[in-house]
């Protein structure tokens, strides 16, 4: 294991910044390296093979930068690539390094939010088609009813900052309606895509006021804190100078401008060619 490494945080683009923000808020002492694969985003409609191939390439990049722990802060990558990377690739390429996702920590607690034992999952096509959420949630809450809705238009709306207008509302209302008509018992909605927290004000317009809308940022931050507590060898190896570095596979000016919006603070990125 390398001597002192930053924690890697990955997303297909900007969405993971909403997770990084909560992680840094809760665990500011560590160093973090963020990579957005903006040149190839969105991942949501891509095949299993493509998402796996892109994600593995990015994970390898983190390893080359010295990261020993990488968080896939992207549901689509967590759904379509994480298991194969953990089971097939890591033992061969980096047996002492760890790659974690966002689905399991969310599945572990989502049932606690619902009184009616019925939750709705809003996610990309890829995440929904993978059935990862219903499968993972069933391990922790076997009695919970899980309903899913793919929202393929939402990521492009967010990425292009076109989410606060009547055009966006049309797609948001349509997907919410399609989800809520699956069951009138749904009292909890999970934003199972790291881009969606930016839509929360628009979503509120179409969701009953008593319905809980759950974003993943603090769930993932809590889970990382717990993981580091339970794995002292990994924790001891983490650099702790509170430094943040941002990388993108596309235009840095664009990343800095839009990314600041997701992260909530100005950011300065560097370009990386993969
Ligand atoms: N933000 C990613 C997620 O959580 C996906 C966005 C994309 O389609 O690239 O699923």
Can you tell me the distance from the alpha carbon of 169 to that of 151, in angstroms, rounded to the nearest whole number? 12
Percentage of the residues of the chain whose pLDDT score is greater than 70: 99
Residues in the chain, pLDDT under 70: 1-3
74 is catalytic: yes
pLDDT of residue 145: 98
Q: Give residue ranges with CB within 6 A of ligand 1.
A: 11-13, 15, 41-44, 74-76, 124, 127, 155, 193-195
pLDDT of residue 3: 65
DSSP letter for each residue of 165-219: SHHHHHHHHHHHHHHHTT-TT--EEEE-STTGGGGHHHHHTTS-TTSEEE-SHHH
Pocket test for ligand 1, best of 37, 48, 75 (most atoms within 8 A of CB): 75
Point out the ligand 1 atom lying closest to the alpha carbon of residue 12.
Answer: 9
pLDDT of residue 43: 93
Phi-psi region of 178 (alpha: psi -120 to 50; beta: other; left: phi over 0): alpha
pLDDT of residue 160: 84
pLDDT of residue 161: 85
pLDDT of residue 2: 47
pLDDT tens digit string along 109-156? 999 999 999 999 999 999 999 999 999 999 999 999 999 999 999 998
Q: Which of 67, 151, 193, 238 is catalytic?
A: 193
């Amino acid at each position: 294991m390398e001597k002192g490494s930053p924690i890697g945080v990955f997303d297909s683009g900007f969405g993971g910044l909403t997770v990084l923000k909560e992680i840094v808020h809760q665990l500011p002492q560590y160093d973090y390296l963020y990579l957005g694969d903006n040149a190839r985003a969105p991942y949501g409609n891509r095949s299993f093979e493509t998402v796996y191939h892109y994600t593995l390439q990015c994970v390898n990049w983190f390893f080359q930068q010295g990261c020993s722990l990488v968080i896939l802060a992207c549901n689509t990558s967590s759904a379509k690539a994480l298991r194969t990377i953990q089971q097939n690739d890591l033992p061969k390429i980096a047996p002492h390094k760890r790659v974690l996702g966002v689905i399991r920590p969310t599945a572990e607690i989502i049932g606690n939010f619902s009184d009616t034992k019925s939750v709705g999952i809003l996610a990309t096509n890829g995440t929904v088609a993978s059935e990862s959420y219903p499968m993972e949630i069933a391990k922790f809450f076997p009695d919970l009813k899980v309903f899913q809705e793919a929202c393929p238009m939402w990521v492009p709306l967010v990425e292009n900052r076109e989410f606060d207008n009547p055009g966006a509302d049309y797609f948001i209302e349509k997907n919410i309606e399609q989800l809520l008509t699956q069951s009138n018992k749904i009292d909890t909605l999970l934003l199972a895509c790291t881009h969606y927290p930016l839509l929360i004000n628009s979503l509120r317009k179409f969701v009953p006021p008593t319905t809980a809308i759950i974003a993943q940022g603090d769930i993932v931050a809590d889970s990382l804190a717990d993981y580091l507590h339970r794995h002292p060898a990994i924790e001891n190896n983490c650099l702790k100078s509170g430094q943040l570095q941002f990388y993108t596979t596309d235009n840095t000016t664009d990343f800095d401008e839009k990314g600041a919006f997701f992260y909530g603070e100005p950011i300065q990125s560097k370009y990386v060619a993969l």
